[in-house]
Structures are given as C-alpha cells and as structure tokens.
Structure 1
C-alpha cells in the first residue's frame, strides 16, 4: 500500500475523530460488570474514564507542538499504532491494574480529533474551517450515539472484553486508512523547536484564545459529568438495562448532530461568537429546566435524558466554532492551540468526572448531574461573552 501524499479526505478525519470518541464511551455500559469481574469497586473502575482523560490532557500538550514541528501525519500514525497495541493489552488483562495501565495507553488515540482539527485549519480559512468542522462533528456524532448502544449489546451477548476486541480491530483499520489517505497538511512547519517556542508567548497572551478555549472546555465538561453519573442514575432511579442505558447516553448526540448540521450550513457566513452564544444559552437552559422539574417532583427518565439533548444541541452550535476561533489566533501554531485547548478540555473533564464519581449517590443522582451540567454550560456562556467583549474593544477584520 502506497503512503499518502495528498491532503486527507474529510471522511478519513471523521473516522479518526470518531474512534477517539468510541474509545471513551463505548464501554461505559460495562463499568459495573467490569467491577464485578475484577472484584474492584466502582470508584476504582471509574479511573478507566477519569484517568484516561487525565492522560489525554497531558498527551495533547505534547502532540500539538510535535505536529507543528514535524507534521500531522507522522504523529498521528505513531499514536494510532500505540492505541491498537494498547487495545490488545486491555483484552488480555487479568487484573484491574494491568487493565488500567493499558487503558491509559489507549489515550494516544486522542491524536485523532486534535490533529484532524489542526489539519482542517491548515486547509481552510477560519469560518470555512468552522463549517467543515461542523460537518465532521455531525458525521462522527454517530460514534457516541451508537457506541454505548453497541457496547451495551456486546456486553450482554459476549462480555465486556468483546468491546476491546473491537477497539483492536478499529485501531488496525484506522492505521491502514491513515497510511493510505493522510497526506501532510502542515506546510508551514517551524525550522527548529527554538523558533517555534518563540511564537508561544504570542499565543499565551492572546485573550481570544483563552476565551474560546475556556468556552470549549466548559461546554464539553457538562457532557463528561453526564456520562459519569448517568449509569448510576439509570440504575437507581429508572432501573434501566445496560442496552437501554447505552441508548439513553447515546441520545445526547442526536441534539449534537442537529447543532453541528446547522453549524455546517451557516458557519461560513455567520460570526463565530454569535453561533457560540446561542449554543451556550440553549445548553444552560436544558439542564436548568430539568433540575427545576426534579425539585418539583416532576422528574422522570424523559426529563433527565431530555435535558441532556439540549446540552448536545448547544454543544453542536459551540464546539466547531470555538475550535476554529482558537486555532485562528495564531494559524502557524494551530496544532499547539488545538492541543492546549484539548488538554484543558479533557483536564477539566477529568476533574468533573472524578467529582461526579465521588459525590453522586442513589439519593442525589439526578440533582447532582443536572446541576453540574447546568453550571458547566453557564461557565461556557460567560467565556463567550468575554470573547465578544474583547471583540468590541479590539475588533478584528475577520471577526473571529
């Protein structure tokens, strides 16, 4: 098979991004059964999510700058090879600690969304990149929608290890696809790391970068709280099976797909912060209404998961536009910007995941989860309002 020499197709970037999402959520319905198999409590097994996110945060700080220096293609190929090998290790693990070790190595797959986003920004202008990122996110949203359902069904039929067998096959297949189609897109690489480091202070001092980054991080943060607390709430309050829980977790991406479809259609001719602001208002309103209904004794499975759909729709209007904005502050450091932003996003996700795992209980489940989703979405709203304030004081001709 000949190595690729032309820029990748959007389909390849969709698959690279989707695999990263699958690696996070497909096995979530199996957490309880994994704890029984390894004779470990829920908090320890939950490290397969929280620890994975923490390692992902660190790796993104490394991957982004490396791709700015050496290119997107070689870094992505190496990371995908690590993911495939780690997935095999998870299948063969006989103790919780061996499993967790290989599970943390699986975090290398986070190069998929980080470097796919950077590649798109390499090829397009800010608003056009937002449109393309919206279409990529809309297409790959099938991964979080179908992943938990597939994982729950495979657990019931074959046991939880079947999901990691599938991860192994996906990793090998993705490695071959990247080799054949992922040509280099970074044509403005730094000559040395020293030259690249001299550009970093400009990125770190950019207030728009931090505003967009915090907006993206808090937007995703609410989703992390949801996927961590939903299994306990589903079991304790609604008595859902693993397959039905997978369906419930997956429906949040229905709203996400619609939001990204709208982004793909109009982002190229709409101000980025306008799209983000609407998304943050919607994402804050949904869980707030759900929280109030539960307080009033009107809570139900439809209210709980319905509130999450609002978060998904709001994130669909937010994420692609925020990503395009933060990578456009210093285009020559698009990979570093994507990596730093991604690290902050998963770092905050790890914190919220850990807090949710520690404090959620059968008694407070829906209140805690909806409350954390609402608070995180509102912080994202404050962040985009800050970017708009900066734009008013120091307007840019491209209105990013």
Structure 2
C-alpha cells in the first residue's frame, strides 16, 4: 500500500514500540488509589487492572508469536497497536469499573510491540550479536519505566487519572503511524500454514534450554512485577509519599536496569549467554538480601529501600537480553513462537505474582513482605540460570 514500509525497522522504532508496552503497564500505577476511590471499589479490585492485563497479554502472546511466524511481524504488530488505541479511548471514557477493566485488558494488544520487536532483532542477527543489541535496546527503552510512573503521577495530580489514558491513545496513534512508515517485514522464512506453526510448540516445549531460559525470564520479570504492584502501598502507607514520589520510587528500579543493560551491550558478545544470565541473578539476590537485613535491623527509609531494590534492576539488565536471545536461539526458525510463548509464560507468572502480592501485603507487613516475595522470585530465576549454565557446560550443543 501507499508509503508502507518495505525495509527493516530502525533501532529507534523498535525502542519506542517496546517502551510503549512497558508504559502501558506502569505509567498509571500511582493512580490506582484514585481509580479505586472514584469507582468506589477496593484497592484489590483496582489492582485487577494490572493482574487482568497481564493474564490477557499472556494469552495474546501465545497467539501472536505463531501468527507473526506465519503472516509476518508487521501486520500482527499493526493490528495490536490499533486495538491498543481503541482500548485506551474506552478507558478514558469509562464510567463503571467493569467497563474500565474490560477496556484495560484490551490494551494488552500492545504486548506484540515488545515480543515482536525482539523477534525482529533475532530475525536479523545471530544469538550473541542479538543479545548485545538487545542490551542496548533495553538500556535505551529503560527510560520508559523509569520516567513513566513519575510522569503518570504528575499527570494524575494535575489533570486526573483519565489523562494518562488520553496520553496512551495519542501516543499509540503516533506509534501506529511510525510503524506503518518504518516497520518493514523482517520475517522472510514464513511457515506454510498457521496450523503447522502452532504444531511447533511441542518442539519448543521439548527443549530443556527453552524451559531454563523461560523460567528464568518469568521469575526475573516477576520480581519487577511484584515491586511495581506493592510499591504504591508501601510508598503511601509506610513512607508517606505523594503519588509523584511514588512514581519516583517505582521508576527507581530502572536506574539499575539501565546500568545492567549497558554492561550487557558491552559484554554479551564476548561471554556465553549463560554466564550473563547467572551474573544478573547473583546481583539481584545480593541486593534484596541486603534490603531484608536492613529492614530487620530497623532501617526503614525510602532511600535505602529503593537503593537495595535497584540491584534487581541491575540484575535484570544483565539477565534479560541474554536470556531473551537464548530463548529465541533454541530454534531460530521459530523465533516468533519462542518469543511469544516465553513472553506468555512471563506475564502469566507476573499475573499470579501480582495477585499474590496484592492479597498478602498489608500496611503492617508491607515493607518486609514485599522484599521477601521479590527474593523468592529471584531465587527461582537463579535456579533456572544455574540449570542453563549446567547444560552449557555439559552439552555444548543446543538441547
């Protein structure tokens, strides 16, 4: 069609698309209390806008991956962006909590921007080079989760929570146009039929490395999801922060993520993927352990608290590019399906962990319990990283 892109997308386009998928999760988090108040529901019900969103995106990624392997990355991503824009408009005008939650979960269509952007990179580069590039992409797009909650909190204070969804609608429209003009197709080895593509899932599920990388990704991101879910409660009740400062606390975890992603970009091309993944897990575990010791010792201050949590961001910055490249390299011809299936696992795990977090956190136990749940998630991801490293040393060939 007229002016439709025919060349591979620029790095900037992939960064912006990925950033929007992150913003859609966390930008409005400081507004959860105000949303609950306006609709006359509990914080737990309002929190379904996170857990429900994650659950829907899990299902969407299972479908989007094979669809992109069959029909291409471009059409699947454009349709997802269009649904996101329409759903954002619905959230803006919602006058009932159930209407709001319905449109909120429909915003999950934007998740293709993250999963398929990674697949587009893997389409064009080998695994270590892809991991290095994904590290720089992660570093650049980390500005979104760092500034998103702060920006969302300020917008809430000035214009109300609905203005955040107005921003989503406008930004989503701009990204749709950008993708239309710049996002050329990168998948040039498409499967013959959609049914055949879905039948490749058993091949992926039979790979032990796929499981190792996927479980590591799921629980690495899980620690992040737990934090962004509980930070609003802990920030407001334990530390007495304003919505804008809660945004700073939520976004603070990405300062470490930027550093970790930069290190990944520099080193991923020189070290095995398993080494980078394991280094990130050690960093996250150490930071959270220090945080728990400080809380037990009675040191409960927002600076020390967020400072320890930043090591989770550092660890994820080291882990995620290498693990993402690794999971798509298990079967390179199935990169879209691998990205979709591992992404579905990660957001399904995130939905479960955010639901658990919302259920067990109280004003009395919030500071310690939040760190404990994060540490448990990091421990599981660390076990998966050790398993992948063991496979690398025992069986150099992909299995």
Structure 2 length as normaliser, TM-score? 0.98
Residue number in structure 2 paired with 1:317: 318
For 1:1-400, what aligned pairs fall within 5 Å after superposition? 2-396=3-397
Distance 1:257 1:198 in 2: 37
Contact 2:66 2:198 in 1 (8 A): no
Distance 1:372 1:199 in 2: 34
Distance 2:158 2:195 in 1: 54
Contact 1:290 1:299 in 2 (8 A): no
What is the CA distance between 1:198 and its match in structure 2? 4.7
- Rate the CA distance shift 1:363–1:198 in 2: closer, same or farther, 3 A: closer
C-alpha deviations, 1:24-70, integer Å up to 9, x for none?
00000000011111111111100000100000111000000100111
What is the CA distance between 1:199 and its match in structure 2? 3.5
What is the CA distance between 1:197 and its match in structure 2? 4.2
Distance 1:363 1:196 in 2: 50
Distance 1:393 1:310 in 2: 30
Q: Over the residues paired in the alignment, what is the CA RMSD in angstroms?
A: 1.1
Any stretches of 5+ residues in structure 1 without a counterpart?
none
Distance 1:229 1:199 in 2: 38
Distance 1:303 1:158 in 2: 32
Contact 1:215 1:380 in 2 (8 A): yes
What is the CA distance between 1:263 and its match in structure 2? 0.6
C-alpha deviations, 1:354-397, integer Å up to 9, x for none?
0000110000001111001111111111101101111222113x
Distance 1:82 1:298 in 2: 46
Distance 2:43 2:202 in 1: 42
* Number of residue pairs aligned between Structure 1 and Structure 2: 398
Any stretches of 5+ residues in structure 2 without a counterpart?
none
Contact 2:128 2:268 in 1 (8 A): yes
Distance 2:140 2:168 in 1: 19
C-alpha deviations, 1:259-309, integer Å up to 9, x for none?
001111121121111111111000011111111111111222122211210
C-alpha deviations, 1:307-346, integer Å up to 9, x for none?
2100000000000100000000001110110011001101
Contact 1:285 1:374 in 2 (8 A): no
Which has the higher mean CA deviation after the structures are superposed, 314-323 or 387-396?
387-396
Structure 1 length as normaliser, TM-score? 0.98
- Rate the CA distance shift 1:26–1:197 in 2: closer, same or farther, 3 A: closer
C-alpha deviations, 1:168-225, integer Å up to 9, x for none?
0011001000000000000110111343345333211110010001011110100111
Q: Aligned with 1:104: secondary structure?
A: helix
Q: Aligned with 2:318: secondary structure?
A: helix
